[in-house]
Structure 1
Amino acid sequence: MLDRFIRNFLNGQQIIHKIRHVQTVRLTFLHKCIKNECPAVLSWDTRMASTSSKRPSQSSKLLNDYRNNRIANLQLADLGNDILEFARDPRGSRFIQQKLERANPTETAHLMDALRGHVLTLALHKFGSHVIETTLKSVDKASQMKIINEISAQVLILSLHKCGSWVTRCVLDNCTEHQKRPMLEQLLGNVLSLATDTYGSHVIRHVIEHGLPEDRERIVRSLHENITSMSVHKYGSLVIRCVLDNCTEHQKRPVLEQLLGNVLSLATDQYGCFVIEHVIEHGLPEDRERIVRSLQGNIIMYNGHLNSFCSVIHKCFIFGTMEQRNALIDEFCADNGSGSPPLLEMMKHPFGNKVVQKMMDVADSARRQKILLAIKTAPLKNTAKRSSESLTTVKVQQQRGGTEIG
């Protein structure tokens, strides 16, 4: 009796723990829910439809006949109740898409009747999503609204899904402002969650590129307090670069100010470096000048960040002015306190070596001689540290007619 009581008590505690766990589901776990890891947030109808679609079932005879080329001149109206089977099949999905392009109103109405109640399930399906996209492009506004009504409540689930995110973008591209506004409001209310997601980031970038100016303004405001953290994020950095490409100077200036205030930390990050490079290449001359000034006096190579840092320096030599290039060359050729200039440390690494080669390409004659002199007088020649990359750089310059290094 006592053992049974203890077992029942422990089982009860475990159940309570599970219930509390379900109650703490947050938006940040929606992408897990999409993969059916946490299906509690999905509607009952959607879960049942998704579950039933995964159960082993005998394919329809019509679909099997079509797959095996046993049917000639099949039309959309001939599918009847087999439309959903066709939509989830690779060949069947292509068939529906092709026929939709030339479908008459009667065939389109029949398709819409068959899709009713299954739009969300198909939108999350590898092949069904293509059917939903083609339908959105082919039907009239009233039918589009029926589709939107089925998916609007789950727009976040769609936008965080590999296939569903394409459906979200299709709605944004093909529907009127009035039709897509409810979906946009949900997207604009969850910018941070979407911007840091593999698929959601594509949706946010799509809104930035094709949305209204006021929607871009709201996105920038949502990002404002997280510019640095977004810039060092794999997907967030792409959103930041999209903002820089598509927003007005007034909209992106607060973003740029935060970036320009954190040049060193971003330039030495694997994703942040691309954001800084983007500003160097596409930004205003005064912004480029501020970046170069931030780099001056901080040419210290950290092995863990060398690739990112060198990539930023490389951009400076490509897009900077002659004065900016000369300032950086002087920095690289100066003794950093270790008895040798940073230039030599860079030459020993593949990425850094390419920067030195670019440095030689863009330098004037005086700076080129300065670079060669720094290499010539350094105690690198008699050490085992001289790499094949550094030797290559020297040989290239000798072939170009540079000063011979003895």
Structure 2
Amino acid sequence: QVFSLSTHPYGCRVIQRILEHCTPSQTQPILDELHQYTERLVQDQYGNYVIQHVLEHGKPEDKSRIVSLLRGKFISLSSHKFASNVVEKALIAEILDDPDPQALYNMMKDQFANYVIQRMLDAADPGQRKALMHRIRPAHTRAEEGGRSPPPAAANFHFTATIG
């Protein structure tokens, strides 16, 4: 039943509201079923919104489970009209939940990965953008203190204006 509701124009909104307002014991069976159908839901015109909602507002373990279920499929899903939005949110969720700031710093220094970071900043909602900028700021400061140019992803943003 959760899959059917998640792929319905109004049902997907009902599932999102249930995830927001119900207790963990009430939402866990729903999340279990969502995880069972994640790959199908990310490709659905309505189901993708439910998965994005979990990636933006869910518990870290549910975000990690979705990222794990999609790992190895990011390239093909990136070419899909609906799934591409989920891929963006999954990457943002994985970076924000990674406890190692060095991983983000290494991405920022890389000649290709820094463009991914810049695109994530463009695609992130305001709360995610603020969280990403708080993770980027130390790399910017570390580079300035060391007399080096900041990594491209850090150099291209004005921190005081963006973070406030």
Q: Does 1:214 align with 2:135?
A: no
**Deviation of 1:173 (Å):** 2.9
CA RMSD of aligned residues (A): 3.3
Q: Which residue of 1 aligns with 2:98?
A: 177
How far off its partner does 1:91 sit?
A: 0.8
Instruction: Tell me the amino acid that sits aligned with residue 73 of structure 2.
Output: Q
Asked if structure 2 preserves the Cα contact closer than 8 Å seen for 1:117 and 1:150, the reply is: no
Partner of 1:166: 85
Instruction: Please give the alpha-carbon distance, in whole angstroms, between the structure 2 residues aligned to 1:166 and 1:249.
Output: 32
| Partner in structure 2 of residue 98 of structure 1 | 17
State the match for 1:118 in structure 2.
Answer: 37
TM-fit CA distance, 1:222: 9.4
Structure 2 Cα separation of the partners of residues 170 and 151 of structure 1: 12
TM-fit CA distance, 1:159:
2.1
- 1:88 and 1:221 mapped to 2: Cα distance? 33
Match of 1:136 among 55, 58, 68: 55
Deviation, structure 1 residue 90: 0.7
Give the number of the structure with larger relative contact order, counting CA–CA contacts within 8 Å between residues 6 or more apart: 2
Q: Where does 1:220-235 land on structure 2 (aligned, <5 Å)?
A: 220=112
Q: Secondary structure at the match of 1:89?
A: coil
Q: Percent identity?
A: 21
Aligned pairs, how many? 121
Q: Deviations over 1:39-88 (max 9, x none)?
A: xxxxxxxxxxxxxxxxxxxxxxxxxxxxxxxxxxxxxxxxxxx1101111
- Whether the 8 Å contact between 2:2 and 2:33 is mirrored in structure 1 is yes
CA shift for structure 1 position 220: 3.9
CA offset digits 1:173-221 (Å, max 9, x no partner): 3341169xxxxxxxxxxxxxxxxxxxxxxxxxxxxxxx93321222348
Q: CA deviation at 1:113?
A: 1.8
Q: For the residues of structure 1 that align with 2:114 and 2:60, how far apart are their CA atoms? A: 32
Q: Sort the Cα spacing of 1:159 and 1:221 in 2 relative to 1 into closer, same or farther, 3 A.
A: closer
Provide the rounded CA distance (Å) in 2 between the counterparts of 1:166 and 1:132: 10
What's the secondary structure of 1:171's corresponding residue? Answer: helix
Question: Equivalent residues in 2 for 1:236-255 (5 A)?
Answer: 249=149
Which segments of 5 or more consecutive residues in structure 1 lack a partner in the other structure? Answer: 1-81, 180-210, 224-237, 253-406
Question: Given the superposition, is the C-alpha separation of residues 157 and 139 from structure 1 closer, same or farther in structure 2, using an over 3 Å criterion?
Answer: same
Do the aligned partners of residues 177 and 85 (structure 1) sit closer, same or farther apart at CA in structure 2, a change above 3 Å counting?
same
Letter matched to residue 124 of structure 1: Q
Q: Distance in 2 between matches of 1:219 and 1:178?
A: 23
Q: Distance in 2 between matches of 1:154 and 1:109?
A: 25
Counterpart selection for 1:150 from 56, 65, 69 = 69
Name the CA distance, whole Å, in 2 between partners of 1:222 and 1:101. Answer: 33
Cα distance change of structure 1 residues 107 and 138 upon mapping to structure 2, 3 Å threshold = farther
The answer for the alignment partner of 1:84 in structure 2 is 3
TM-score, scaled to structure 1 = 0.26
**Normalising to structure 2: TM-score of the pair?**
0.60
For the pair shown, the structure with the greater C-alpha radius of gyration is: 1
Task: List gaps (5 residues or longer) in structure 2.
Answer: 123-135, 141-147, 153-164
Relative to structure 1, the CA distance from residue 212 to residue 222 in structure 2 (aligned partners, 3 Å threshold; closer, same or farther) is closer
What is the rounded CA distance, in whole Å, between the counterparts of 1:99 and 1:164 in structure 2? 22
Instruction: Summarize the Cα distance change of 1:219–1:164 in structure 2 as closer, same or farther, 3 Å threshold.
Output: farther
The secondary structure found in structure 1 opposite 2:89 is helix
